[in-house]
Amino acid sequence: MMHLINSKVLALLSALMLGGLFCYIFQSYRLAADVIPESHEFYLLAPEHQQYEQPSILHGRTDVVTVTPWLAPVVWEGTFNPVLLDSIYKVKNITVTATVFAVGKYIMFLKNFLETAEQHFFVGFKVHIYVFTDRSNEVPQVRMATGRQLTVRSVPSSKRWQEISARRMELIQTLIEEQLPNHNDYIFCLDVDSKFHGRWGSESLGALVAVTHPGYYRDPRSRFPYERRPASKAYMASGEGDFYYCGGAFGGLLQEVHHLAKTCRSNFEADTQEGIEAAWQEESHLNRYMWINKPSKVLSPEYLWQDFKPKNPEVHIIRFSGVVKNYAEIRPNT
Ligand SMILES: CC(=O)N[C@H]1[C@@H](OP(=O)(O)OP(=O)(O)OC[C@H]2O[C@@H](n3ccc(=O)[nH]c3=O)[C@H](O)[C@@H]2O)O[C@H](CO)[C@H](O)[C@@H]1O
Ligand SMILES: [Mn+2]
C-alpha cells in the first residue's frame, strides 16, 4: 500500500515538475520572442530556416474573434509569430512611414512619442517619421537607430483643435503625393498624445489598416458615435457600420492611405461648404470610409488603448496608448 502511495506521490511530483519545466521553457520562449526583434542576427534567418511552433487551424485564441466577416485578420496578441512575420517582411526591404502632428501645445507629447517609437515601433526596419508642427524649433532631439530618420514639416497653427485634427487628412494626402512616390511602401498616421508600450511591428501591415476604438469595441453599433445627420458626408444610418475605428491610428499601403486621405479631406470640405462639421471631424469621415472600403486588416484595441482605462482581460498587451491629458490646458479652444 505504502509503496503504491509513494509511487503515486512520485508520479504526481514528476508531473508537477514537468509542468513547471514546461511553463518555464514556454515563458522563456515568449520572453525570447519579445526580445528577438531587437537583434538583427535573427532577421537574417529566412522563414524556411527557422524553427517555430507548428501552426494549427484547430487551436488558438478562443476568447476573441480573429477574423472579420469579410475575412480580414483581427490582430490580437497570441495570434501571430513576431519573429516569423519580421523575417517575411524583412526580405521585402520595406520602409514604414509614420506621420505625427504636434501643433501648438501638443508639442509637449512629441518627446515621449518619439522615444517610445524607437523602442517599439518597427524595430529593425527602415522607418521614416514625419513630424508636422508649427514649432519646429521645439522638436526634441531624439537619438534614432540606423535606418530610422525624422523629417520636420512646418504647418500653420490654428485657433481650433477640430481644424488641426481634421486638416491632417489634407496634409497626409499632399505628403504622399509630393514625397512618397514609391507606392509599394506602408504608412501609419498616429496621434501624438500617445506612447508606445509594446511591440507594434510587421504584424500590423496590410493594404488598408484600421484600429478598433478601445471605448466602443464591446458596444452594439447603435451606440457608436458615428455622424448621424444625413446632411453630412460622414453619415451612417442606424444598422450600418462594422466597428467604431479610431481617428488616432490608421494606415496601410501608400496608395490606399492616399485614397483614404483624399476622400476624407474632400468629404470634410464638402461638409464645411454646407456649414456642417461631423461629430468627430475626420474620425467620422474615416469611419464612413472604412464602412464602404473594408479594411484588409483590423488591429485590436491593443494598438490604441487609453491610459485612463483599466485593461480588459482579452487585452494581453497594450502596444500604444493615449496619455491622460488636460484638454482645457492644451487645446487652443474648447
Ligand atoms: C485616440 C483617437 O482615436 N483620437 C481621436 C479623437 O480624439 P482625441 O481627443 O484623441 O484628439 P486629440 O486632441 O488628440 O487631437 C488629435 C491629434 O491632432 C493633433 N493636434 C490636435 C490639437 C492641437 O491643438 N494640436 C495638435 O497637434 C495631435 O496630433 C493630436 O494627437 O477624435 C479626434 C477627432 O477630431 C481625432 O480623430 C483623434 O485622432
Ligand atoms: Mn489624441
Reported as type and span, the H/E element at residue 164 is helix 161-179
Identify whether the C-beta of residue 168 lies closer than 8 Å to the C-beta of residue 294: no
pLDDT tens per residue across span 270-308 = 999 999 999 999 999 999 999 999 999 999 999 999 999
pLDDT tens per residue across span 165-207 = 889 999 999 999 999 876 679 999 999 999 999 999 999 999 9
Identify whether the C-beta of residue 109 lies closer than 8 Å to the C-beta of residue 320: no
Annotated binding site for Mn(2+): 191, 193
pLDDT at 16 over 50: yes
- Supply 282's cell numbers: 475626420
Helix (H, G, I), strand (E, B) or coil at 239: coil
- Report the separation in Å between the CA atom of 191 and the middle of ligand 1, taken as the mean of its atom positions: 6
Ligand 1, atom 8: closest residue by C-alpha: 248
Pocket of ligand 1 (CB under 6 A): 101-104, 106, 161-162, 164-165, 191-193, 246-248, 280-283, 304, 322, 331-332
pLDDT attached to residue 43: 52
Helix (H, G, I), strand (E, B) or coil at 65: coil
- For 74-330, which CATH class? alpha beta
Distances (CA, A) of 287 to 71, 73, 133, 254, 322: 19, 18, 26, 19, 19
Using alpha carbons only, give the angle 150, 155, 159 rounded to the nearest 5 degrees. Answer: 135
pLDDT at 40 over 50: no
Instruction: Name the pLDDT band for 15 (thresholds 50, 70, 90).
Output: low
pLDDT attached to residue 35: 42
Percent of the chain with pLDDT over 70: 86
Ligand located closest to 106 CA: 1
Q: What is the mean pLDDT of the chain?
A: 90
Ligand located closest to 306 CA: 1
103-131 average pLDDT score: 97
Least confident of 9-13, 28-32, 242-246: 28-32
- Report the separation in Å between the CA atom of 322 and the middle of ligand 2, taken as the mean of its atom positions: 6
Ligand located closest to 104 CA: 1
pLDDT attached to residue 56: 96
- Report the separation in Å between the CA atom of 325 and the middle of ligand 1, taken as the mean of its atom positions: 11
Task: Choose one of 152, 191, 217 to mutate for the ligand 1 pocket test, by most ligand atoms within 8 angstroms of C-beta.
Answer: 191
- Report the separation in Å between the CA atom of 254 and the middle of ligand 1, taken as the mean of its atom positions: 22
pLDDT attached to residue 21: 52
Q: At what angle do helices 82-90 and 2-35 cross, to 10 degrees?
A: 30
pLDDT attached to residue 39: 46
> Catalytic pick from 170, 277, 283, 302?
283
Ligand 1, residue 168: give the atom nearest the CA.
Answer: 18
Sign of CA dihedral 108, 113, 114, 119: positive
56-82 average pLDDT score: 97
Active site residue 329: no
pTM (2 d.p.): 0.88
Q: Which of 297, 314, 316 is nearest to 30 (CA)?
A: 316
pLDDT tens per residue across span 252-266 = 999 999 999 999 999
pLDDT attached to residue 161: 87
